[in-house]
Amino acid sequence: MPGNNGSAGKGDGVLITFAQYEKLEVGMLVEDVIEILGGEGEALSEAENMVVYNYKGTAGNGANAVIAFQGGKLLTKAQSGLN
């Protein structure tokens, strides 16, 4: 739904690959990251100007990436089991 960005539970169906994850660079705009990954992940945490998303990996078996944004820009990224 337009205008409802960052809603918890949104993006549950978005699966990402390691190749997509590798394209992400600290400082990128949230819009650019969402374009690369194909959608918003599941919002894990939201604060004043910070949001943390979880993305499930295509590899299954608990593969995922956690992406944090502050002020609309990528702050940190971490992954486990993406390939």
* Mean pLDDT, residues 51-73: 96
Q: Is residue 62 part of a domain?
A: yes
Give the structural domain span for 71.
15-80
pLDDT at 60: 85
With 60 as the cut, is the pLDDT of residue 10 above it?
A: no
pLDDT at 13: 81
Count of domains observed in the chain: 1
* Mean pLDDT, residues 62-75: 97
* Mean pLDDT, residues 44-71: 95
Q: Is residue 38 part of a domain?
A: yes
Q: Is residue 9 part of a domain?
A: no
pLDDT at 54: 97
Q: Is residue 24 part of a domain?
A: yes
Q: Is residue 2 part of a domain?
A: no
Burial of 31 (0-12, 13-18, 19+ CB in 10 A): exposed
Q: Is residue 8 part of a domain?
A: no
Q: Is residue 3 part of a domain?
A: no
